Structure 1
Amino acid sequence: MKKVNETYGNESISSLKGADRVRKRPSVIFGSDGLDGSKHSFFEILSNSIDEAREGYGKEITIIKHKDFSITIIDNGRGVPVDYNNSEKKYNWELVFCELYAGGKYKNNDGENYEYSLGLNGLGTCATQYSSEYMDVEVFRDGYKYSLHFEKGENIGGLIKEKFDYKKTGTIHKWKPDLDVFTDIDIPIEHFMDVLKRQSIVNSGLKFVLIDENTEITHEYIYENGIKDYLEEINNEKNFTDVLFFSKEGRGKDREDKSEYKVKVEIAFSFNNEVNLLEYYHNSSYLEYGGSPDKAVKQAFIYEIDKYIKRENKYTKNEKKISFIDIQDSLVLVTNSFSTVTSYENQTKKAITNKFIQEFMSSFIKSKLEIFFIENKDVADKIINQVLINKRSREKAEKTRLNLKKTLGGKLDVTNRVKKFVDCRTKETEKREIYVVEGDSALGACKLARDSEFQAIMPVRGKILNCLKADYDKIFKSEIIIDLLKVLGCGVEIKTKHNKDLETFNLDNLRWDKVIICTDADVDGFQIRTLILTMFQRLTPSLINNNKIFIAETPLFEITSGKKTHFAYSEKEKQDILSKLKGKYTIQRSKGLGENEPDMMWETTMCPTSRRLIEVEPENEEDTMNMFNILLGDNLSGRKEFIADNGEKYIEQIDIS
């Protein structure tokens, strides 16, 4: 018979009480027991100060990040009520700081204490206090200063009340998140900066002062006109439509059996081809995942823009309908909504689910867009033309990606061979090298000189396309480039508008440990080398960033003295060798790779112990692209200026023979 556990009985069921409800299960309240939980506990206290300011009590909030990871928040609100509460027969400080689901966010006789509340039903202050190593509270109101001290969720010393002549009412919270509760409490200053900037954006005219004790630097954030000023900042005068701002208030319910609640919506947007942005806020909380506002925006913009395109007959025959990504590519938009009833997905408040808010916002945005398009046809035409350009570019890029995946996919075998590619025998990737050489004659010479066990040869026939100037369509019609990409095996990195990648690239699929560019040591060879490097930078920059690309130096001169031959790779090296020779010698300008003897090719270019390889090192990507643009782009005057300023540095490398 199966043995029954006799210890599991009626007395086995227990519940967490007091501070343990948070301290032992912080992720239930804060969504995490790590750094994200610490961050959220900070925001719970901050949100209460913001609620006060938004009701018109105090226009400045100060936040101090202390060296020991403790935090202070100072506001000029009405001050948290902490004295005796006759209705509840308890002190308010016990309700606010020691009871979950108690606080000032519940309705009073007039309807609401706060018209639109960011704090959620009394959870935050108590939960943050419970999860702190300590918390000190000072309240200035009713002609008194009230002081409270808590340690690990327990009050020490009760409420201290003393007459006080203060200049302003308000509350000071100072606390330290507890390492017994959270695994990490070192909230980066960047997080404070990001949160406070966002809050200044959606609370117009409210000033936040952030003091960093570690650096002794003070940061200030204020947007007098809220999200409208923020959009002007983001656009940086590069928008092709003005910033439009609309707001509306209304009432409604999520279900027929639910109570009505109030909603206020602000929306600001413009169109811009250089930046795009979508941000949603509700009751001042940044909604990372959006929820109802995100759905409303997408639905409204797709509906109205698609309707306008159809009315203007801008779709081509059988063309598919636009998607939101085509609008988003050129859209800079922020919504700032408020409601007296809010349904968050969870306590972390990263998305809201209110059905009425979604319907209200969608209807509101549709009506404003419809009127704007009718009254501003020239601007509307600009918008839809750009949306259609985005759509067609996206579809073209996706088609290119799918074609590339088909073209570059699969193994190199009899059915998928590459012309004149000469493979090596080993299948061990960490040993395999591929020489990308200049033309068929170089292919023959390298083939005779190589070690066929681990060295493969891929000839480049003629001058490769300048990938910096060409668009993707033209690049991928080049047989040389497609063949080289097939041999590499790793795919390509296609950068499209706003850095959204449609790519086939996978470094793990690279078939080679080293990719070695090997060209003649003359002007034509250097140009071909540069064009190949440009191709790698444009199509497979990760090969450069992961140190897979090398250049094989080939000698300029053969100097024979007696039975010994010396190789010089520059004019300076030639002079150094000549200065050390005694007796007669002969100097021969090195031939092209195709004319070299196999022994000489092996010794100078292919033998791992005697060759000279230059590793193409990753540089700052922006600087690298600037240099490629100077050397190979369309800015001719910039190129001439660069040569004039820097030509003397390379005088010794000039081939003047």
Structure 2
Amino acid sequence: MAPNYDEATIRTLEWQEHIRKRPGMYIGKLGDGSSADDGIYVLLKEVLDNSVDEFMMGHGKKVKIDIEEDKVAIRDYGRGIPLGKLVDAASKMNTGAKYDSKVFKKSVGLNGVGIKAVNALSSKFTVRSVREGEAKEVIFSQGIIEDEKDIKGLDEPNGTLVAFEPDEAIFSKFHYISDYVVNMVKNYTYLNAGLVIEYNGERFYSRNGLRDLLEDNIDENPIYPIIHLRGEDIEIAITHGNRYGENYYSFVNGQHTTQGGTHLQAFREVYVKTIRDFFKKDFDPSDIRASIVAAVSIKVEEPVFESQTKTKLGSKDIGPNGPSVRAHVGNYLQKELDNYLHKNPDTAEVLHKRIVESERERKAISGIKKLAKQRAKKVSLHNKKLRDCRIHFNSKDPKAEESSIFITEGDSASGSITKSRNVNTQAVFSLRGKPLNTFGLTKKVVYENEEFNLLQAALNIEESLEDLRYNQIIIATDADVDGMHIRLLLITFFLQFFPDLIRKGHVFILQTPLFRVRNKQKTYYCYSEEERREAVKKLKGKAEITRFKGLGEISPDEFKNFIGKDIRLDPVMMRKTDSVKQMLEFYMGKNTPDRQDFIIDNLYVEKDEVA
């Protein structure tokens, strides 16, 4: 019998209940901290946005961030939230100062939602505002007030302190990765020259804005000095390296739009047109943009983003009465870049030479490319390498973000993953053995090597990353010497030809358990010696211990425990200190004394231990 549908079945959720029940609506995916866009970083960003807005309005030049394990504290030195509205600002939806565009004309925060989402999704949330020697402090748990106090006669600068602990009931087994936080902090300083952010005692500051961003992120010497253009509500920095791919950093109102949007699309189109007009030649767009490294930042009134977490700009216009985003970016870029190239003929000459080199290489591999495509078309009908999934990253499916591909080696490992995977969101690509070492080779090898050509086709990254089919590319190899070598060979391939996959945080290493510890009642899967000892202790020493030597030894029934909701992934990351060229030479080049010392120092001989 169907349940009754009457007045009693209709209920209105409290604001914090709604956020906790549907967190994805407010912060995107939850995650465990292994991806830069996981929910715990969105919580941090929402609080930071408010502090940066204060700086943008001319109040407070410093922000302090302290993160210790799962506890986050952010203190700014702005005006401080008005004391009488502190509770409302932290716990009433659609309450904030950002609706008054005179005060916050081009703000980055979530317009009255952000800090409430942080509050509701935290097991403990404290907000404290100091104004002219008086303060108010309110403590919440899961969005519900636990304590409230007024403080008088304070000798403390104005500003707001927000401290929170993400709720483990929602963010299970999460951890903050410091490199992701540092990248976020640096972006705030590049976009707000003069702002000082202290993160766990380290000071970050930028004097030259986007020029500093490119200098800090390009891992080789640019082939010409960085072109830095600054206008009203727009800033652009451009240079070229010698690596494959296009590398962009785009921002709207201080928000890092990792998926671009209308402003980046306008930049890419108008940049090509401006270069063609300047040289009076109809160069191919791919040759003009080959190896470009650029940053674009614009300010927009009341921006429209394509998601709650604001990673892609959807606005067509820069304000209610302003021009279109395309016209705003296009008119400025066309005029200023053309002027710059006329005034700097040396830069123009180097740029022209780079375009011609790219054109020459593209034409040289066009023949082999055509053959490879024909071969791939034939093979794809019977491609035993790829076990595809139903939902892809470049689709409009609500679960597109979850789309992933496991790159495995050998039939037994790929068989276990294939049988235990989620067929909707998890694909498997099986390698035949050790892939080719591509260090020092040209892109021609991607088409000549059948395996790499099929991998490129599976990922759909030949032209650009815009149509990437999987959000997470997961290298799943045994944790032995051969497995480690395969990881290095695959990372070398991506670094050599598709570095943006790593720069944009799409490549991961799958962690799989080293031990199974169990008795008749309980089973523990352990990823380290420490976890193994802990499990033995929990089972009071009466345990059967199995050491997994390889992925093929783990049955499909067990494997599903390691690639489902509790999947553990290590992101493959690049920092400024990680020069692609130096990394590749060190790990994949000829033996040198430094390399030999590294191998000897890091050599690990496994010893069997008895529980």
Kindly provide the CA deviation profile for residues 453-508 of structure 1, in whole angstroms up to 9, marking residues without a partner as x. Answer: xxxxxxxxxxxxxx9999788999xxxxx9xx8xxx7576999xxxx879xxxxxx
Aligned CA distance change for structure 1 residues 383 and 133 (closer, same or farther; 3 Å): same
Match of 1:79 in 2: 80
Contact map agreement 1:140 1:166 (CA 8 A) in 2: no
Q: CA deviation at 1:115?
A: 3.3
Q: CA deviation at 1:199?
A: 1.2
Match of 2:533 in 1: none
Q: Tell me if 1:133 matches 2:123.
A: yes
Q: CA deviation at 1:274?
A: 4.8
SS in 1 for 2:208: coil
Partners in 2 of 1:289 and 1:266 — Cα distance? 18
Q: Mapping of 1:550-569 within 5 angstroms? A: none
Q: CA deviation at 1:337?
A: 1.6
SS in 2 for 1:627: coil
In angstroms, what is the RMSD of aligned CA positions?
3.7
Contact map agreement 1:55 1:115 (CA 8 A) in 2: no
Q: CA deviation at 1:12?
A: 2.2
1:233 to 201, 216, 228: 216
Contact map agreement 1:408 1:491 (CA 8 A) in 2: no
Match of 2:105 in 1: 115
SS in 2 for 1:156: strand
Match of 2:87 in 1: 94
Partners in 2 of 1:336 and 1:279 — Cα distance? 8
Contact map agreement 2:225 2:347 (CA 8 A) in 1: no
1:39 to 38, 41, 46: 41
Match of 1:168 in 2: 157
Match of 2:25 in 1: 28
Kindly provide the CA deviation profile for residues 245-278 of structure 1, in whole angstroms up to 9, marking residues without a partner as x. Answer: 22223xxxxxxxxxxxxxx111122233358631
1:327 to 288, 301, 324: 288
Match of 1:180 in 2: 169
Aligned CA distance change for structure 1 residues 369 and 494 (closer, same or farther; 3 Å): farther
Q: CA deviation at 1:150?
A: 0.8
TM-score normalised by length of structure 1: 0.56
Q: CA deviation at 1:189?
A: 2.0
Aligned CA distance change for structure 1 residues 102 and 184 (closer, same or farther; 3 Å): farther
Contact map agreement 1:231 1:332 (CA 8 A) in 2: yes
Match of 1:382 in 2: 350
SS in 2 for 1:242: coil
Q: Tell me if 1:371 matches 2:339.
A: yes
Q: Tell me if 1:337 matches 2:298.
A: yes
Contact map agreement 2:251 2:257 (CA 8 A) in 1: yes
Contact map agreement 2:187 2:213 (CA 8 A) in 1: no
Larger radius of gyration: 1
Q: CA deviation at 1:626?
A: 2.6
Kindly provide the CA deviation profile for residues 359-400 of structure 1, in whole angstroms up to 9, marking residues without a partner as x. Answer: 211221112123233444443243233123223423433432
Q: CA deviation at 1:167?
A: 3.8
Aligned CA distance change for structure 1 residues 395 and 21 (closer, same or farther; 3 Å): farther
Q: Mapping of 1:379-528 within 5 angstroms? A: 379-404=347-372, 406=374, 490=451
SS in 2 for 1:339: coil
Q: Tell me if 1:295 matches 2:257.
A: no
Contact map agreement 2:15 2:93 (CA 8 A) in 1: no
Contact map agreement 1:100 1:127 (CA 8 A) in 2: no
Match of 2:253 in 1: 283
- With 232-241 and 379-388 compared, the bigger mean Cα shift is at 232-241
Aligned CA distance change for structure 1 residues 32 and 15 (closer, same or farther; 3 Å): farther
SS in 1 for 2:59: coil
Partners in 2 of 1:65 and 1:475 — Cα distance? 43
Match of 2:502 in 1: none
SS in 2 for 1:356: coil
Q: CA deviation at 1:282?
A: 1.4
Contact map agreement 1:79 1:140 (CA 8 A) in 2: yes
Match of 1:552 in 2: none
Letter in 1 for 2:79: R
1:106 to 68, 87, 99: 99
Kindly provide the CA deviation profile for residues 152-208 of structure 1, in whole angstroms up to 9, marking residues without a partner as x. Answer: 2111233x2221332411111111111223334422222211211221111112111
* % identical equivalent positions: 22
Aligned CA distance change for structure 1 residues 184 and 329 (closer, same or farther; 3 Å): farther
SS in 2 for 1:361: helix
1:190 to 168, 179, 200: 179
Aligned CA distance change for structure 1 residues 169 and 303 (closer, same or farther; 3 Å): same
Q: CA deviation at 1:78?
A: 0.8
- Runs of 5+ consecutive residues of structure 1 not aligned to the other structure: 84-91, 212-217, 250-263, 316-320, 412-428, 432-466, 477-481, 503-536, 542-619, 631-637, 643-657
SS in 1 for 2:114: helix
Letter in 2 for 1:335: V
Aligned CA distance change for structure 1 residues 494 and 401 (closer, same or farther; 3 Å): farther
Contact map agreement 2:240 2:292 (CA 8 A) in 1: yes
Q: CA deviation at 1:20?
A: 0.3
- With 335-344 and 293-302 compared, the bigger mean Cα shift is at 335-344
Match of 2:50 in 1: 48
Q: CA deviation at 1:295?
A: 1.0
Q: Tell me if 1:152 matches 2:164.
A: no
Contact map agreement 1:24 1:181 (CA 8 A) in 2: no
Letter in 2 for 1:280: S
Contact map agreement 2:47 2:114 (CA 8 A) in 1: yes
Letter in 1 for 2:72: I
Kindly provide the CA deviation profile for residues 115-167 of structure 1, in whole angstroms up to 9, marking residues without a partner as x. Answer: 32111211011111111101112211032021111112111233x22213324
Partners in 1 of 2:294 and 2:171 — Cα distance? 36
Contact map agreement 2:125 2:141 (CA 8 A) in 1: yes
Partners in 2 of 1:468 and 1:32 — Cα distance? 36
Letter in 2 for 1:622: E
Partners in 2 of 1:335 and 1:475 — Cα distance? 31
SS in 1 for 2:355: helix
SS in 1 for 2:15: coil
Partners in 2 of 1:473 and 1:22 — Cα distance? 50
Q: Tell me if 1:265 matches 2:234.
A: yes
Aligned CA distance change for structure 1 residues 14 and 385 (closer, same or farther; 3 Å): same
- Total equivalences in the alignment: 409
Match of 2:571 in 1: none
Contact map agreement 1:322 1:388 (CA 8 A) in 2: no
Contact map agreement 1:178 1:185 (CA 8 A) in 2: no
SS in 2 for 1:349: coil
Q: CA deviation at 1:93?
A: 2.1
Contact map agreement 1:201 1:230 (CA 8 A) in 2: yes
Aligned CA distance change for structure 1 residues 406 and 168 (closer, same or farther; 3 Å): same
- Runs of 5+ consecutive residues of structure 2 not aligned to the other structure: 33-37, 319-324, 380-409, 413-437, 464-491, 497-582, 597-611
SS in 2 for 1:240: coil
Q: CA deviation at 1:305?
A: 1.4
Letter in 1 for 2:78: G
